[in-house]
Amino acid sequence: MNKLLFLVLASATSMTFAATPKTDTVAYKAATDRAEASYKTAKSACNTQSGNAKDICEEQAKLDQKQAELDATTKFKSDKNSLEKARIAVADARYELDEEKCDAMTGANKDSCKSTAKMQQTAAINDAKAGKQSADIAQTGINCNNMTGTDKASCEARSKTELAKDAVADSVITTKIKTELMAEPSLKSLDVKVETNNGKVSLSGFVPSQAEADKAATVARSVKGVHDVQNSLRVK
């Protein structure tokens, strides 16, 4: 089975993972900062309650925060590792909320409630991991799912090697861009953050003028291996 077919299959099984990762570090941080502020406000409001009701209120606030962070990740930082981590965080927060709700019950109802909450958490975590696995298959063209024993172990090792090669390539691109920026007299003193994901580069930070922002993007695009540049530099 060729790599193109793997791409089609992975897209069909995991639409939550964007085909083209996009990164806007500045917008992502702003969104997560808002989520944190909202959480603090909501948690503070829970102080008017007590006992289990207060616990439920606080866990609901935490779940809302993690859901907002997942939304921010999906919109501004949709690489597969970040998405998996954010989705698992939502699953864990939802489980904590469900557990608090179960604590208000007694006997068999409480036991059943907690058992259901745990199963739902496990299913959500497995879904998050399965989504990343599909994205890995799309990236490498290597599918070990139907293998067993030593064949599967060898296949998984090969997949990890291919993924590591991509990571190394991205780090090389990032280093090269930083070096080129420093070599530019008009840019070397700028505080520009560079991130690379599968050859797609994100620039963030603040610059004195739009001319410097445009120049930095031009320098990044000139580096070998760069497929796309997301310029999130802001003029201060």
Per-residue pLDDT tens digits for 23-45 = 677 888 899 999 999 999 999 99
**What pLDDT does residue 36 have?**
96
Instruction: Give the CA radius of gyration of the chain.
Output: 22
- For residues 203 and 99, give the distance between their C-alpha atoms in angstroms, rounded to a whole number: 42
The more confidently predicted of residues 20 and 230 is 230
A 10 A CB-CB count for 2 gives 7
Q: pTM of this prediction?
A: 0.65
- Indicate the burial class of 118 (C-beta count within 10 angstroms; 0-12, 13-18, 19 or more): middle
pLDDT at 5 over 50: no
User: What does the block give as tokens for 181?
Assistant: 């920026």
Tens-place pLDDT, residues 132-187: 888 888 878 899 988 898 998 999 899 889 888 777 788 889 999 999 888 887 77
**What pLDDT does residue 177 have?**
92
pLDDT at 1 over 50: no
Contact status, residue 144 vs residue 203, Cβ threshold 8 Å: no
pLDDT at 108 over 70: yes
- For residues 87 and 72, give the distance between their C-alpha atoms in angstroms, rounded to a whole number: 12
**What pLDDT does residue 4 have?**
42
Q: What share of the chain is helix, strand, coil (3-state, %, to 5)?
A: 70, 10, 20
pLDDT at 54 over 90: yes
Percent of residues, the chain, with pLDDT higher than 90: 44
Mean pLDDT for all residues in the chain: 85
- For residues 77 and 220, give the distance between their C-alpha atoms in angstroms, rounded to a whole number: 19
